[in-house]
Amino acid sequence: MLTRSEIRSYLTATGPAQEELFAEARRLREEYFGPTVILRGVIEITNVCRVNCDYCPMRRDNTPENDRYFMSSDDIVERARDIREAGIDIVLLQGGETPRNLATMEDAIPRIRELFDGRVEILLNLGNLRRSQYERLRDLGATSYILKHETSDPDLHKAIRHESLDERLRCFRDLLDLGYRVGTGLISSLPGQSLESIVDDIELAQSLGAHMCSVAPFVPAPNTPLQLEPAGSNELALNTIAVLRLHRPQMLIPSVSALEKTSAGGQSRGLEAGANVMTVNFTGDSDQHRYLIYGKDRYVVRKRHVEDLTRASGLRLRGSVFLDPDASSDVPVGAGGRKRVS
């Protein structure tokens, strides 16, 4: 583990110091995971949300003007079939925070498990819920959950998300306690965020015992209160990825689409900085344009893009590490058929 002053100094590394930092992050990724990138498929099930995050075009105040959608469980299962056909064994179901998700999950999760003969990681990203609801989702077959803390500064969290950080962390701890593999995440370069606060974010991911942590540079999305703020620095986000790899090497760290949106080639740099997860979008075309995570012109990740980046980085794609930690579960690059996991 790194000291606070080491973290601080790595976060601002440039030139040869940054290259050394990235090289060490890649070495640790190799030591813990081999030359592999974990591949997920995401389905974005709704763009409706009760929360009002100032950086998000799907925030509650925007809902009346947005073209709302809720995927049916039949549609979700059909998209999950596409994920299976692509040889991917992690189905990420993600959406705004709305009570309607629970009824949809009741039907969809067991059917997805059946579709994969039970050999699937069902990863949810559906926000804050009551402990009993997390318990129900687990009993239905969900295995992992993403609940990003976004910023560990309680005042900034409250000011920008209009929600309590404590409540978010209560949910995170409930999930861990219920046996989920849990991911957190942060936004770097948020307006009003200090470097010291990012040091806190990294220490929080460690102290929570997170299995996964994402880093996304701030994107000033249209139709949000923060639309006129400057875009976040990709270099700071990349340094944060590398520092996380050094600080907690066993963690899954995605190279997120926001890196590509902020700068072409950004996701490739994420892999250079030690990231080891990529997510392909399987939401249907019409809903994809309505899921406004960074506005209408977000970067939508396709499997070919991921295959090209992974190959160019000298890495290979693999399946879930949570299903079979010891099994080799490489995903066939460029293949359409379902991967048989031994």
**Residue 58 binds to ligand SF4 (criterion: CB under 6 A):** yes
How many Cα neighbours within 13 Å face the side chain of 69?
A: 21
Q: Residue length, the chain? A: 342
Single out the residue of 2, 49, 226, 321 in contact with ligand SF4 (rule: CB under 6 A).
49
Instruction: Check binding of 149 to ligand SF4 (CB under 6 A).
Output: no
Residue of the chain from 41, 87, 127, 319 that contacts ligand SF4 (CB under 6 A): 127
Is residue 53 close enough to count as binding ligand SF4 by CB under 6 A?
Answer: yes
The rounded radius of gyration (Å) of the Cα atoms in the chain is 19
Nearest distance from residue 96's CB to ligand SF4, in Å?
Answer: 4
- Contact between 232 and ligand SF4 per CB under 6 A: no
Torsion of CA 23, 26, 27, 33, to 10 degrees: 180
- Cα gap 216→203, rounded to integer Å: 17
Region of 35-43, 50-58, 211-219, 309-317 interacting with ligand SF4 (CB under 6 A)? 50-58
Q: In the structure encoding, which two tokens stand for residue 29, read together?
A: 């990724």
Tell me how many residues contact ligand SF4 (CB under 6 A).
9
User: Quick one: tokens of 253?
Assistant: 């760290």
* β-bridge mates for residue 163, sequence order: none
Residue 264 CA to residue 208 CA, distance in Å, equals 33
Nearest to ligand SF4 of 97, 272 (CB atom): 97
Shortest separation between residue 200's beta carbon and ligand SF4, angstroms: 20
Hey, is 224 helix, strand or coil? coil
Shortest CB 298 distance to ligand SF4, Å = 13
Query: Which 162-221 residues touch ligand SF4, going by CB under 6 A?
Result: none
Q: What is the residue whose two structure tokens read 């030359």? A: 35
Q: Which of 75, 89, 97, 235 binds ligand SF4 (CB under 6 A)?
A: 97
Residue among 86 and 213 whose Cβ is closer to ligand SF4: 213
Instruction: Closer to ligand SF4 by CB, 104 or 310: give it.
Output: 104
d(CA 205, CA 244): 9
Does an H or E element contain 284, and which? none
Q: Which of 96, 183, 217, 274 binds ligand SF4 (CB under 6 A)?
A: 96
Name the one range near ligand SF4 by CB under 6 A: 36-44, 53-61, 176-184, 315-323. 53-61
CA 166 to chain CA centroid, nearest Å: 21
Burial class (CB in 10 A: 0-12, 13-18, 19+), 81: middle
Q: Which stretch binds ligand SF4 (CB under 6 A): 29-37, 55-63, 130-138, 214-222?
A: 55-63
- Which helix (DSSP H) or strand (DSSP E) does residue 278 occupy? strand 277-281
Answer for which of 6, 18, 27, 51 binds ligand SF4 (CB under 6 A) is 51
Q: Examine residue 56 and tell whether it contacts ligand SF4 (CB under 6 A).
A: yes
Phi then psi dihedrals of residue 53, to 5 deg: -60, 135
Contacts with ligand SF4 by CB under 6 A lie at 49, 51, 53, 56, 58-59, 96-97, 127
